[in-house]
A and B are shown apart, each in its own frame.
Chain A
Amino acid sequence: MMMILGIPAPLLFGQLMLGVVNGAFYALLSLGLAIIFGMLNIVNFAHGALFMLGAFTSWGLLNYAGIGYWWALLLAPLIVGAFGVVLERLFISKLYKLDHLYGLLLTFGIALILEGLVRNYYGSSGLPYRIPAELQGAQDLGFMIMPNYRGWVVLAALVMCLITWIVIEKTSIGAKLRAATENAPLVQSFGINVPRMITLTYGAGVALAAFAGVLAAPIYSVNPGMGANFIIVVFAVVVIGGMGSILGSIITGFGLGIVEGLTRVFYPEGSATVIFVVMVIVLLARPAGLFGRAH
Chain B
Amino acid sequence: MADAPMLQVSNLESWYGESHILHGVDFNVQEGEVVTLLGRNGAGKTTTMKSIMGLVGRRAGSIRFKGEEIVGLRPDLVARRGIAFCPEERGIFASLDVTENLMLPPRIAEGGLDIERIYTLFPNLQERARSPGTKLSGGEQQMLAIARILRTGARLLLLDEPTEGLAPVIVQQIGRTIREIKALGFTVLLVEQNFRFAATVADRHYVMEHGRVIDMIPNAELEQNMTKLHEYLGV
Contact = CB atoms under 8 A, between A and B. Distances in A.
For the complex of A and B, the 8 pairs showing the least CB-CB separation, nearest first, are A191-B79, A190-B105, A189-B75, A178-B95, A188-B75, A175-B100, A186-B91, A179-B93
Interface of B: prevailing SS? loop
B195 interface: no
Given A175-B103, A185-B75, A191 B152 contact: yes
Given A178-B93, A179-B95, A183-B93, A194 B76 contact: yes
Interface of A: prevailing SS? helix
Interface in A180-229: 181-183, 185-194
Contacts of A187: 104
A172 interface: yes
Contacts, number: 58
Contact of B104 (A179, A185, A194): A179
Interface in A39-72: none
Contact of A176 (B53, B87, B94, B104): B104
Given A189-B54, A191-B152, 6 more contacts: A178-B93, A179-B93, A181-B95, A189-B55, A190-B152, A194-B76
Interface in B23-78: 53-55, 74-76, 78
A98 B94 CA distance: 26
B53 A189 contact: yes
Interface of A: 172, 175-176, 178-179, 181-183, 185-194
A182 B94 CA distance: 8
Nearest to A190: B105
> Taking each of A178, A179, A191, which has the highest tally of chain B beta carbons within 10 Å of its own beta carbon?
A191
Contacts of A179: 93, 95-96, 104
> Taking each of B78, B79, B104, B152, which has the highest tally of chain A beta carbons within 10 Å of its own beta carbon?
B104
A190 B106 contact: yes
Given A172-B103, A183-B91, A185-B55, A191 B96 contact: no
20 contacts: A175-B100, A175-B103, A178-B95, A179-B96, A181-B95, A185-B75, A186-B87, A187-B104, A188-B76, A189-B54, A189-B75, A189-B76, A189-B79, A190-B84, A190-B104, A190-B106, A191-B79, A191-B108, A192-B76, A194-B76
A191 B103 contact: no
Contacts of A194: 76
A185 B93 CA distance: 13
A182 B55 contact: no
Nearest to A183: B91
B85 interface: yes
B89 to A, nearest CB: 9
B155 to A, nearest CB: 13
> Taking each of A175, A182, A186, A187, which has the highest tally of chain B beta carbons within 10 Å of its own beta carbon?
A186
Contacts of B108: 191
B103 A182 contact: no
Contact of A191 (B76, B87, B91): B76
A73 to B, nearest CB: 31
Nearest to B80: A191
Contacts of B80: 191
Nearest to A185: B55
Nearest to A172: B103
> Taking each of A176, A187, A188, which has the highest tally of chain B beta carbons within 10 Å of its own beta carbon?
A188
B95 A188 contact: no
A292 to B, nearest CB: 13
Contacts of A182: 93-95
Contacts of B53: 189
Contacts of B74: 188
B100 A191 contact: no
A183 B84 CA distance: 16
Contacts of B91: 183, 186
A87 B95 CA distance: 29
